[in-house]
Structure 1
Amino acid sequence: MKGFSIIIVTWNALNHLKNYLPSVVETEYPDFEIIIADNASDDGSKQWIKSTYPDVKIATFDRNYGYCGGNNRAVPFTEKEILLFLNNDVRVDKNWLHGINKAFKDDMTAAVQPKMLSDKEPEKFEYAGAAGGFIDKYGYPFCRGRIFEEVEKDEGQYDNNRNLFWASGAALAIRKDLFRETGGFDEDFEFHMEEIDLCWRLQNLGYQIGYAPDSVVYHLGGGSLPMGSPRKVYYNFRNSLFMLWKNYSSFSLRKRFGIRILLDIVAAWKALAQGKPKEWWAVAKAHLHFLKDLGKVSRKRAYLQKQRVNKDDPDAMLNFSIIWQHFLKAVKKFKNLP
C-alpha cells in the first residue's frame, strides 16, 4: 500500500475547515498524514486545528502564496510517497484512499483523480473535475460529466478506468518524486489550469494520468473565484496561453496556436456583443500579459521541449474542437463526443 500525504491549502477559511476537515481526519486507511498549508491566516484556523486535531501537521507561511505556492511550499513537510493535494472545501468518503491506491499499481501512472461529485447536489458531477479532465486540440478543457456549463448526473456512466488528460487540482494525487522532478506547480499561473499544465508536462515525459472511479469525493467549489468573474476569465485565458506555449508539440504550436488566438478573439467580441465589456477587457488583458511574458514562457518551453520523451501531443488530447461539438453540433454529454 502507498502512503499518502494529504496537503490542504487554506487562507482564512476556518468555516470550511470546520465543515470539511472532519471527514478527511476520519479516513479509514492505514498509512496517511494530513498537512495544513496555512497561507498566513488570521481567523483562528491554526488555533482551532491544534486544539481539535492535534495530530494534524500545520505548515505556516509568512503570507498568502495561493494554491500553487502554498502547495509547493508544503511538500518539504511531507513524509509519504504520494502527495494528495485536496481543496479545503472537499468532503471525502471514509474509504476514498483505497481506490486511489489501486490506481497507482501501474508504475507509469504519475497522477490520479477520484470521482468528484457536487457537495450541494451529490447526484451530480462537480464542475471542477467530474469524472476526469480532457482538452481538445485547441487547448479548451472539459470533463467526463461536464462540458462547459452542462453538468451531468452521475449514473455510473463513467465508472471505467481510462487515462485522463488532467486530474483536477481539487483532489489531485501525484507521486512525490515526479512532482519534485517536474518542478511542481508553475507559480506564474497563480490561479487556474496549473494542474492541467502539470499533468501535460508529466505526459510529455512519458507518464499517464489515471482515474479512480471507486474513490468518491464531494467538492463545494467556486470558493476562490466565482463563475463569470472577469478575474476568473482573465486567468483562464492567460493561463491557457501559457500552458499551450509551454507544452504543445512543435506541430501543434505551428498549426493550432494561431487558430486558438482567433477563437479567443471571437470569444472576446461575443462577450462585448452580449453587453459584458469587463469580460471583453479580461480576454484582451490576458493576451497583452501573455505577450509581455512571452520571453519568459519561451525559455520555459525551450527547457521542457529538451526534456520531453513524447515528441507528439499526448494520446489523451482529443483530436477535435469542443467549441464545434458543443456550440454548433449541440453535444452536451461526454459520451456523445466523437
Structure 2
Amino acid sequence: MLLQGLAREFAYFLDGLYMSFNGAGAAVRRAVMKKVGYYPGEFFLYMNEMDMAFRIWDAGYTIRYFPDIVSYHKASPTNRQSWRAPFFYCRNLFWLVWKNQPMGRAWSLTLLLFYYCLYFSMEQKTTIYLKAAWDAVKNLGMILSLRKPVQPEVARKLRVPYRVNFTFYR
C-alpha cells in the first residue's frame, strides 16, 4: 500500500514532470506564456516561477525536466547574507497563496504562514519574517485584485515548500 502510494507520488518525476521550475535556467513556450501570462511583476524577487507554475498547470499544460540540458547562472563571487531573500520569499509566499489557492486552502495556509513567521522569528532571533508578513498584509488589496484561484485539483497536486523559506538564519 505504501509503495503504491509512493509510486503514484513519484510517477510525475519518472515521467519528467515537475510541479515548478527554476527561472535561472528554464525555457517556456511563447504560446504558453501568452495564454497564462508572464512573471508577476509585483513579486519583484522570488516565487515568480511558482506563481507561473500554478497558472501553467491550471491551464492544462505540464512542466518537464530534461536532465541532459545544462544552463549556467552567474552567481555573486561573495557569499553574503542579505535581508532581501528571506523578506521577499516570505512576503511572496503569502501573495502566492492569496492569488492562487482556493479560499479554504488560502485561509488554512495563511494561518500556517503566520505561525511560521512568529515561530521562526523567535527561533532565529530576527524580525525579517514579521516585516515581510506586514508588507504582505499592507498590500492585500492589490494582491486580491489579481486573485485567480486555480482548480482545487491543481492546488492539491502542487506542493509548495512553505517551511523551507523560513530557514535563512539557521
Check if 1:315 corresponds to 2:153: no
CA distance in 2, matches of 1:271, 1:322: 14
Map 1:39-78; keep pairs closer than 5 Å.
none
Please, which of 143, 148, 156 is the counterpart of residue 297 of structure 1?
143
Specify which structure has the higher proportion of strand: 1
Q: Contact 1:160–1:213 (CA<8 Å) still a contact in 2? A: no
Q: Which has the larger radius of gyration?
A: 1
Counterpart contact for 2:93–2:162, Cα < 8 Å:
no
Are the counterparts in 1 of residues 47 and 89 from structure 2 also a CA contact under 8 Å?
yes
- 5 Å-filtered alignment, 1:20-169, equals 160-169=14-23
The aligned residue for residue 56 of structure 1 is none
Instruction: Note the C-alpha offset of 1:256.
Output: 2.7
Output the TM-score relative to the length of structure 1. 0.41
Check whether the contact 2:54–2:158 (CA below 8 A) recurs between aligned residues.
no
Amino acid at match of 2:52: L
Instruction: Give unmatched runs, 5+ long, in structure 2.
Output: 1-12
Alignment correspondent of 1:187:
41
TM-score (norm 2): 0.76
What amino acid sits opposite 2:104 in the alignment?
A: F
Cα RMSD of the aligned pairs, angstroms, is 2.7
Aligned to 1:230: 83
- Matched residue, 2:92: 239
Residue 38 of structure 2: SS of its match in structure 1? coil
Percent identity, please. 21
Partner letter of residue 185 of structure 1?
Answer: Y
Change (3 A) 1:174 1:321: closer
Write the distance in 1 (CA, Å) between the matches of 2:139 and 2:119. 23
Considering fraction of residues, name the structure with more helix: 2
Tell me, which stretches of 5 or more residues in structure 1 are unaligned? 1-158, 273-279, 328-338
Q: How many residues align?
A: 152
Asked whether the 8 Å contact 1:166–1:195 carries over to 2, the reply is yes
Deviation at 1:235, TM superposition (A): 0.9
2:159 maps to a residue whose letter is: M
Change (3 A) 1:287 1:226: farther
Higher relative contact order (CA 8 A, sep 6+): 2
